[in-house]
Amino acid sequence: MGNGTLASDQRLHGLDFLRALMMSLGVVLHSAQMYMTLDITDYYIDPMRSVSMDAVLIYINTFRMPTFYLLSGFFTALLFSRRGLEGMLANRYQRLVLPFIIFLPLLAINMSVLRIYAENIMASGQWVFDISAVKKPRILWDNTHNLWFLYYLIIFVIILVGLIKLKPVLPLKLRYAVSRVLQTPIYSPIVILLVAAWLAVLGSGSFSGRLSGDLGLMPQPSIIAYFGVAFLLGWMLYQRLENLALLAKRAWLYFALAHIALVVGLVGFATQGEADSPNYFWLHSLLSAATGFSMMFFMLAFVGLFSRYFVSHHALIRYFSDSAYWIFIFHSVPMVAIALLMHSWQLAAEWKFLVVCLSTLAICLLTYQLWVRDTWIGQLLNGRRYPKQ
């Protein structure tokens, strides 16, 4: 199957569902952050914490954003193939730029208010609106919040347009070489090795052996390079759609390899010690390399699994896929509010986590049904208004 065989109105239900799942896992990931023992959360940390929450975050964070950006590259290539450059840009403007412009100010206002209350509650246990309690005031304005993924996706599209515009002026031999590279199967050993090495080198600058999203308004070249390679993989995958069948066949193998690499990386993380430890360099290198391979194999595995098991339309899955964009944009507001209300509750971290996750998801789905699905917001996020039924 080549990309020319994909009908203009045909949906890739499995990859649509996978993209929606990766976005919606933000509810789980960000809920877990508030109950971790690792000190990496900057908006609210509950008194009740658990190592199990660390495990949830580390596991999901290994594959979620790389897989999302791979799918973003894939669907951008699909749009370019079906609609041309102008049609692709019009779609990306509506689905990426406008939501970012419209929802970031609203999100910033709500999250800044919640952050001020959170800082005071963590300091004194009191619901006081005192801005002086905020340890990093800059974060109140220099912050893209959970819309950072949109911010960098817009940057990737801008870079892509520049490269497309540059292509005609390149020498013929160079254009041919680039075309051949872009049509390389993403499961080929050389691609797996190069991508894993790229992720490892960039991730090695962090103690955790990986990079996470940056929320600041100043774009970070390292983040662009780190997640940009996943976007490129998605573009390459669309050039060889027949690879989906092989990825589906090998999906469980890649899934197993991803977990083996993840375990190796966790061993490196647990034993590396501090930066001045005697074996830090080698163990940290092991952590970074294993994390790179784990991310790569997870991307291949999830694309294969969802292409294999979710090939046809299902009404509930379609509804969930349609709601996922709203869930990711809106979820942090009810999530943090619910967590703050539970601050003094003497419940285990796992129970608080479950309450926050389930309550947040319920609120997001309810508001999607009432405020989004058949309104102009649904038109903006989903490309059309759906009936509420």
pLDDT of 297-355, one tens digit each?
Answer: 999 999 999 999 998 889 999 999 999 999 999 999 999 999 999 999 999 999 999 99
Do 368 and 381 contact (CB within 8 A), yes or no?
Answer: no
Structure tokens at 213: 């999203």
Give domain status of residue 111, yes or no. yes
Q: What is the mean pLDDT of residues 148-165?
A: 95
pLDDT of 243-287, one tens digit each?
Answer: 999 999 999 999 999 999 999 999 999 999 888 889 999 999 999
Average pLDDT, the chain: 92
Would the pTM of this model clear 0.85, i.e. be above it?
yes
How many angstroms separate the Cα of 43 from the Cα of each of 33, 38, 136, 366?
Answer: 10, 14, 10, 25
Please check the confidence at residue 363 and state whether its pLDDT lies above 80.
yes
Residues in the chain: 389
**CA–CA dist 212, 53 (Å, integer):** 17
Helices assigned H by DSSP within the chain: 13-33, 51-92, 98-124, 148-166, 172-182, 189-203, 221-239, 243-271, 280-309, 315-330, 332-341, 349-367, 376-382
Do 11 and 82 contact (CB within 8 A), yes or no?
Answer: no
Do 298 and 210 contact (CB within 8 A), yes or no?
Answer: no
Do 343 and 46 contact (CB within 8 A), yes or no?
Answer: yes
Residue 262 is predicted with a pLDDT of 97
Give domain status of residue 20, yes or no. yes
Give domain status of residue 35, yes or no. yes
Domain count within the chain: 1
Give domain status of residue 263, yes or no. yes
Give domain status of residue 389, yes or no. no
Residue 1 is predicted with a pLDDT of 35
Q: Which domain holds residue 82?
A: 3-382
Residue 88 is predicted with a pLDDT of 96
**CA–CA dist 80, 74 (Å, integer):** 10
Please check the confidence at residue 161 and state whether its pLDDT lies above 60.
yes
Q: Is 41 helix (H, G, I), strand (E, B) or coil?
A: coil
Which of 45-49, 84-88, 171-175, 194-198 is least confident?
171-175
Helix (H) / strand (E) element for 155: namely helix 148-166
Residue 41 is predicted with a pLDDT of 67
Give domain status of residue 388, yes or no. no
Residue keyed to tokens 């419940």 = 347
Residue 5 is predicted with a pLDDT of 41
Task: State the burial class of residue 59 (Cβ atoms within 10 Å of its Cβ: 0-12, 13-18, 19+).
Answer: middle
Q: What is the mean pLDDT of residues 9-14?
A: 75
Please check the confidence at residue 4 and state whether its pLDDT lies above 60.
no
Please check the confidence at residue 138 and state whether its pLDDT lies above 90.
no
Give domain status of residue 387, yes or no. no
Please check the confidence at residue 177 and state whether its pLDDT lies above 50.
yes
% of the chain exceeding 90 in pLDDT = 81
Give domain status of residue 310, yes or no. yes
